[in-house]
Amino acid sequence: MPDRSAVLAALRAQHIETPSWAYGNSGTRFKVFAQEGVPRDAYEKIDDAATVHRFTGVAPTVALHIPWDMVDDYADLAAHARNQGIGIGAINPNVFQEDDYRLGSVCNPDPAVRRKALDHLLECVDIMDATGSQDLSLWFADGTNYPGQDSIAGRQERLAEALRAVYDRLGADQRMLLEYKLFEPAFYTMDLPDWGTSYAHCVDLGRRAKVLVDTGHHAPGTNIEFIVAFLLHRAKLGGFHFNSRFYADDDLMVGAADPFQLFRIMAEIVLGGGLDKASGVAFMLDQCHNIEPKVQALIRSVLNVQEATAKALLVDAEALRKAQAEGDVLGANAVLMDAYNTDVRPMLAELREDMGIDPDPVGAYRRSGHFDKIRAERADGAAAGWGA
C-alpha cells in the first residue's frame, strides 16, 4: 500500500496554476454575461488568484495572457504578485485577435504578418524575463477553412521557422510549451491539430520545448491518458491546460464532466513520475466561468485536480505491477478502481488543517464575505474580459 505520509507530502507539494483570464468576464459567441466583482485590471486578477491560493494552499502561481494583462511595468506586476503571496506562471501570447491574423499568425502567407506575430512572441519572452516566468505557453489559431486555401506543408515550414526563432531567444531556465487543438477557429486544417504534430516540432526544437495537453482539445472518445503516458515517458510532457468538455472546447470546470477521466490522467502522471518536480509537468487550468461565480469556481477546480491526484496517489503501484506481470486483467483493473472509489476528502481535510487552512475551502470562501467585498470595491470601472 502507498505510504500515507508520502501521499500527503506529494499532495502538499503539488502546484496548480490558475489562469488570469478565468477571473475576467467571458462567454460564448452568443453572449458574455457580465458578473459583479470582476477584476478591472491585471493587478486585481492577481488579487483573485492570490485569494484562490489562500483558500486552497496549492495554487501559488497565475498565468498571464498578453495583451489582456498588459501593464506598463511587468516587474511591478510581479512584485505585486509576490506581495500577495503568489508568483507569475506561464505567459500566454495572443496572436489570434487582430484583423491581420485572418489567414493566420506565424503561418500566414504574408511575411509582414508573420513578422508581426513573431515580434509579439518575442515581446512575451521579454515579459517572462521581467516577471520571472519560466514557461511560454503557445497556442495558435492558425489553419485553413477550405481545401486548397494554402499549402499545408508550406505552413508547417513557416511554423517551424517562427518556433525556432522564439526557442533560440529563450533563456537557459525558460521553456516553450506547445499546445495543439483539433479544430476551431479553423475547420479544414489546424496547423497544430494534435499531439503528434506538436511533439514533432518539440523534438526538432530541443529539450526545453514540450507539449502542452489541453484536455478540451481532442476528438470525443480520445484516450487522453495514453497521450499523457506516451509524452511523459519521452520527457516531452510540458504540462496541462485542465478543463472539462462535453462536446468541444467547452472550458468548463475540470473534473466536472468526467472525474474518472481526470483520475485516469492523474494515475498515469503518478505512475510515470510526473509529480516529481524534476519532471517539470505544469498543472495549469484553462477555463472560463461564464455563468458561475469565478473565484469560487476556481477554488472548486483546484480541489477537483487535488482530489483526482489524491486518488491517483492511492493506487497500489506494487500490486498493480504484480497483477500486470501476471496477466491478471481483472486484478489490475481492480487495483485502479479501488483507488478511484476511495473517498479522499477526509485525508485532504486533514492535509489542509495541517497546512493551516480551512479543511473546507469552498465553504470557507462562501463564509468569508470576500465576494461581497470585491463586489463593493469593484462596482465602478470597466470589468476585464476578452480583449480587455
User: b or e along 273-298 (b: 16 or more beta carbons within 10 Å of the residue's beta carbon)?
Assistant: ebbeeeebbbbbbbbbbbeebbbbbb
The site map against Mn ion for 226-255 (x = CB under 5 A) is ---------------x--------------
Does an H or E element contain 239, and which? strand 237-242
48 near Mn ion, rule: CB under 5 A: no
Considering only residues 278 through 297, tell me which ones interact with ligand PSV, judged by CB under 6 A.
Answer: 286
Q: How far apart are CA 60 and CA 214, in angstroms?
A: 20
Scanning residues 300 to 339, which ones bind Mn ion (CB under 5 A)? none
Cell of 96: 489570434
The closest residue (CB) to ligand PSV is 139
Provide the terminal-to-terminal Cα distance of the chain, rounded to the nearest Å: 50
Query: Nearest approach, Cβ of 128 to Mn ion (angstroms)?
Result: 18
Residues 66-105 that bind ligand PSV (CB under 6 A): 92
- Write down the least CB distance from residue 89 to Mn ion, Å: 13
Instruction: Give 246 or 354: the residue with its C-beta nearer to ligand PSV.
Output: 246
User: 289 touches which of Mn ion, ligand PSV, none (CB within 5 to 8 A by kind)?
Assistant: none
Size of the residue set binding ligand PSV (CB under 6 A):
9
Q: CB nearer to Mn ion: give 47 or 286.
A: 286
DSSP labels for 249-314? S--BPTTSS-HHHHHHHHHHHHHTTTTSGGG--EEEE----SSS-HHHHHHHHHHHHHHHHHHHHT
Q: Which member of 181, 201, 289, 370 binds ligand PSV (CB under 6 A)?
A: 181
Quick one: which H or E segment has residue 156? helix 152-169
Give me the least distance between CB of 214 and ligand PSV, in Å please: 5
- The grid coordinates listed for 6 are 508520502
Q: Please give the Cα distance from 182 to 190 (Å, whole number).
A: 7
Contact partner at residue 181 from ligand PSV, Mn ion, none, CB < 5 to 8 Å by partner kind: ligand PSV
List of residues contacting Mn ion (CB under 5 A): 214, 241, 286
List of residues contacting ligand PSV (CB under 6 A): 65, 92, 139, 179, 181, 214, 241, 249, 286
